[in-house]
Amino acid sequence: MINPFRRWVFPEIETWYHTHISKERFSFYDVLAREHSRRLRQGRMRDAYDWDDILKTVTRETIGIDPPFTVKELVEKHSVPGKVWRFSDVLPTLNAFRQAGVHMVVASNGFECYQRPVTDCLKLTPFFSAFHTPDRLQTAKPSPDFFRFADPRRIIHVGDRIDQDIVGANRAGAVSVWISRDLPPEIRRLPPSQRKRHSDFHRWISTRLEREGHSGRITEEHLPDYAIASLEELLQVWDEKK
């Protein structure tokens, strides 16, 4: 699922922001990232993903005014066909899980008000029984507390970020599944449960972690229980773990 933040929501905010102040004085993305990181360092996990509050904070501090829109409004505006989309394997896989009686939820660091417009547009919302998000749980991944909405040992958590999804699931004791649609063919030849044992897997994980801003060494908590290249492969994981 591709949400509208990177291509549509943040660029629209940036355009408005720089009509009030030059990029030479304050870069919109820099001030946004600094406020997000500051909240994380302070342990304010929920607040670090409250993009409306973050936006108000940085605009008041740097240009002295509130934006004439909310992030929520922009997400709703841009959650339309052509701006958000899903991969072709999503619906068949979700249908297969629903027919098997699998309980599915959205477990995201994005507030529900930023997620639901996207899942509504893509007709995915009916597949999920709940949204487990920082605004509801008062915490965020990778905190193991994020996964306390159920017995973590019965959770199969699928995500594309190592630093949040995989580390969080591993810390909580859930089954961690990393989806990386560009896994190299030589790694994909192995079964999902064996891919982390490939000689190039650590290098692949390291490259991804660098993109996510991680500069330390790779530990066991960075390694997923399963690595999949498509959502269809999640059916293999389910067959093994059910």
Listed in order, strand segments (DSSP E) in the chain are: 106-107, 131-132, 156-159, 175-179, 226-228
Tell me the pLDDT tens digit for each residue of 183-231.
999 999 999 999 999 999 999 999 999 999 888 889 999 999 999 999 9
Q: Does residue 236 have a pLDDT over 90? A: yes
User: Taking a C-beta distance cutoff of 8 angstroms, is the pair 212, 163 a contact?
Assistant: yes
pLDDT reported for residue 146:
97
Mean of the per-residue pLDDT values of the chain: 96
pTM above 0.85, yes or no: yes
Three-state DSSP string of 109-178: CCCHHHHHHHHHHCCCHHHCCCEECHHHHCCCCCCHHHHCCCCHHHCEEEECCHHHHHHHHHHHCCEEEE
pLDDT reported for residue 1:
78
Taking the C-alpha atoms of residue 227 and residue 233, their distance in angstroms, rounded to an integer, is: 9
Tell me the pLDDT tens digit for each residue of 48-71.
999 999 999 999 999 999 999 999
Of residues 178 and 2, more confidently modeled: 178
User: Taking a C-beta distance cutoff of 8 angstroms, is the pair 165, 159 a contact?
Assistant: yes
AA identity, residue 4: P
Two tokens, residue 232:
């269809």
